[in-house]
Amino acid sequence: MSADIVLLARAADYAARQHIAQRRKGERAEPYINHLTEVAALLAEATGGDDATLLAGGLLHDTLEDTDATYEDLEQRFGPEVAALVAEVTDDKSLPKEERKRLQIDKTPGKSRRAKLLKIADKTSNLRSMVTSPPAGWSPERLRDYVVWAEQVVRSCRGLNPALDSAFDAAHADAKRHLG
């Protein structure tokens, strides 16, 4: 069995277990793992599945931010490359939300190629979800603000992968059409 397949199976299992009680913010309250697998699928399709580290990062990208997982645990289980990628895309939850959002815009241009690809896939998945199942309690203005912000974050990631750029553009256009 390929080491890459083992890595991805273990990452999917770990992500599902870490996020077991979490649901998406949308009205449908989908299991959070749906977002993680969509991000990994977007990355796999756009890259031909040739980068298991990137795909594992897609599955695990919210573990440090949203669960009790630690960097050391990720490094031990998945290796230093995967752990570093997850850390690179992790927001500092001790900061206020508006500061975290500003930092994503400001710091994304300096991130690695893998982190930028992951950012595009993450924002694409989030925009798709907002159209099909908008977060409960979000005002039309807050939805529109997210759409604008997502484009600002992704702006510095463009040109690395035409398939991801296209997927984001389609999700962004759909979100603008449905959310204002």
Identified catalytic residue from 65, 73, 75, 81: 65
Identified catalytic residue from 51, 66, 145, 151: 66
Picking from 84, 67, 63, 60, the residue whose alpha carbon sits closest to that of residue 10 is 60
Tell me the CA distances in angstroms from 69 to 43, 58, 75, 119, 162, one per residue in order. 23, 15, 11, 20, 33
Q: Is 66 a catalytic residue?
A: yes
Q: Is 62 a catalytic residue?
A: no
Region of 137 (left: φ > 0; alpha: ψ -120 to 50; beta: rest) is left
Catalytic residue positions?
Answer: 65-66
